[in-house]
């Protein structure tokens, strides 16, 4: 681990300003991803800005009838929140499908949005990886790619986004509130928050240097039946091969978001529009433009089958 300095600013504005002003600075919240990456020398920040004590740990109603979730709300607390369980059950279910109890106790809402890929080549500093070391190439594309993305990839990177929580937030049309280095505040729609790899896979979000996530807001509850179905290689504590977040309305309409198969939490308007035509139609729309490798082509069938399972259970 590279030696680093540490500070604990008194306000979010101060934190953002310090982050922009300090070369090699990173925010630290729960640290469940960052500290691991630092030990592996994949992340080598020279300075950590601790945002754990900035009062960003509340869940409150918004004037619009939605929910405002502080960036430091722990995954465990968010999943257990009464309003979340009642009105945004898909979020609660997605959270509980992720990581382990111990990790969820530490992991935060803002940090989870920023968690990095599980691509094994990203995790070995001796291997080529454009995301870890821009320009070094991609070890995965012609290597071991079973767990990686089939959608939203580029010639530079086929890493998958590993978050469960973010898939539910994408489904719920959340927006990400931030404060910038200049003290300015903005709200970034979740659809725009994560960026596709393109030629710059090391850039993963729309955040500007120093910009700090302060909250995630959810619009008014949608009602309906909430589903989060995660399919993985063991029963718990594993990343998704495929995950599907869905909300079924009473009117035959539904919306879907997908995890484990794409470079970012994946949502396609055409898939929602196909809801009434059944699982197969939804899958076809969602998977349009997929570019799988031989090793992860099964994710297409598995996505369709997971949707089929969801439809079957809904009907049962």
Partner 1 sequence: MKFDSPATTNPIDRGRVIGIPHDRIDGAAKVTGTAPYAYERHDAAPNAVYGWIVGSAIAKGRISAMDLRAAQAAPGVLGIVTHQNAGPLGKGDMNTAHLLGGPQIEHYEQAVALVIADTLENARDAARLVRIDYAPDKGRFDLAAERDRAAPPSGGFGGPADTRVGDFDGAFAKAAVKIDQSYTTPDQSHAMLEPHATTASWNGDRLTLWTANQMVAWNVGEIATTLKIPKENVRIVAPFIGGGFGAKLFLRADALLAALGARQVGRPVKVALARPQIPNNTTHRPATIQRIRIGADSNGVIDAIAHEVWSGDLPGGGAETAAQQTRLLYRGANRLTAHRLAVLDLPEGNAMRAPGEAVGLLALEAAMDELAEACGVDPVELRIRNDVQYDPEAGPQRPFSSRKLVECLRLGAERFGWNRRNPKPGQVRDGRWRIGMGVATAFRNNLVMKSGARIGVDAGGRVIVETDMTDIGTGSYTILAQTAAEMLGVPLDAVTVRLGDSRFPVSAGSGGQWGANSSTAGVYAAAAALRTKLAEKAGFPADKALFEDGLVRLGNQSQPLAQLAGREGLWAEDSMDYGDLAKRYAQATFGAHFCEVGVDIDTAEVRIRRMGGAFAAGRILNPKSARSQVIGAMTMGAGAALMEELVVDKRFGFFVNHDMAEYLVPVHADIPEQDVLFVEELDDKSSPMKAKGVGELGICGAGAAVANAIYNATGIRLRDYPLTIDRILGASSGHRVA
Question: Comparing C-alpha atoms, which of 112, 110, 218 is closest to residue 171?
Answer: 218
Of residues 32, 147, 175, 293, which one binds partner 1 by CB under 8 A? 147
Strand partners, 228: 245
Q: Does 222 bind partner 1 (CB under 8 A)?
A: no
Cβ at position 254, least distance to partner 1 in Å: 17
Nearer to partner 1, 173 or 284 (CB): 284
Nearer to partner 1, 195 or 295 (CB): 295
Sheet holding 5-7, edge to edge: 5-7, 47-50, 25-28
Q: Computed from CA positions of residues 240, 242, 245, 248, in that sequence, does the dihedral angle turn out positive or negative?
A: negative
Cβ at position 123, least distance to partner 1 in Å: 7
Binders of partner 1 among residues 72 to 131 (CB under 8 A) are 118, 120-121, 123-124, 126-127
Q: Computed from CA positions of residues 118, 39, 197, 99, in that sequence, does the dihedral angle turn out positive or negative?
A: positive
Lookup: tokens for 253: 């309409």
* Residue in the structure block whose two tokens are 């997605």: 94
Stretch that binds partner 1, among 83-91, 135-143, 192-200, 201-209 (CB under 8 A): 135-143
Nearer to partner 1, 200 or 305 (CB): 305
Residue 262 CA to residue 280 CA, distance in Å, equals: 19
CB environment 244-268: b (16+ within 10 A), e (fewer): bbbbbeeeeebbbbbbbbbbbbbbb
Q: Does 312 bind partner 1 (CB under 8 A)?
A: yes
Lookup: tokens for 237: 């504590």
Stretch that binds partner 1, among 49-57, 70-78, 180-188, 308-316 (CB under 8 A): 308-316
Of residues 142, 250, 252, 269, which one binds partner 1 by CB under 8 A? 142
Q: Which residues bind partner 1 (CB under 8 A)?
A: 1-3, 39-41, 118, 120-121, 123-124, 126-127, 139, 142-144, 146-147, 231, 233-239, 241, 298, 301-302, 304-306, 308-309, 312-313, 316
């Amino acid at each position: 681990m590279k030696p680093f300095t540490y500070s604990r600013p008194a306000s979010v504005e101060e934190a953002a300003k310090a982050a922009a002003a300090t070369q090699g600075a990173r925010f630290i919240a729960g640290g469940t991803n960052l500290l691991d990456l630092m030990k592996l020398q994949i992340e080598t920040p020279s300075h950590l800005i601790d945002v754990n004590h900035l009062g960003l740990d509340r869940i409150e109603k918004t004037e619009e009838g939605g929910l405002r979730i502080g960036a430091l709300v722990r995954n465990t607390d968010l999943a257990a929140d009464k309003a979340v369980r009642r009105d945004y059950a898909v979020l609660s279910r997605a959270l509980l499908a992720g990581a382990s109890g111990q990790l969820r106790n530490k992991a935060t809402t803002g940090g989870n949005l920023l968690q990095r890929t599980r691509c094994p080549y990203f995790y070995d500093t001796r291997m080529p990886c454009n995301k870890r070391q821009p320009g070094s190439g991609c070890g995965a594309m012609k290597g071991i790619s079973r767990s990686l993305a089939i959608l939203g990839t580029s010639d530079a990177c086929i890493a998958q986004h590993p978050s469960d929580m973010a898939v539910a937030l994408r489904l719920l049309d959340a927006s990400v509130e931030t404060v910038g280095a200049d003290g300015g505040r903005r709200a970034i729609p979740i659809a725009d928050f994560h960026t596709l790899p393109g030629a710059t896979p090391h850039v993963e979000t729309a955040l500007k240097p120093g910009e700090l996530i302060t909250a995630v807001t959810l619009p008014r509850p949608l009602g309906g039946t909430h589903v989060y179905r995660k399919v993985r290689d063991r029963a718990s504590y594993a990343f998704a091969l495929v995950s599907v977040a869905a909300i079924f309305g009473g009117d035959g309409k539904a919306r879907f978001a997908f995890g484990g198969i794409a470079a970012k939490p994946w949502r396609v308007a055409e898939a929602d529009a196909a809801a009434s035509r059944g699982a197969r139609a939804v899958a076809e729309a969602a998977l349009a433009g997929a570019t799988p490798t031989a090793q992860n082509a099964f994710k297409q069938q598995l996505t369709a089958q997971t949707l089929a399972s969801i439809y079957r259970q809904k009907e049962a």
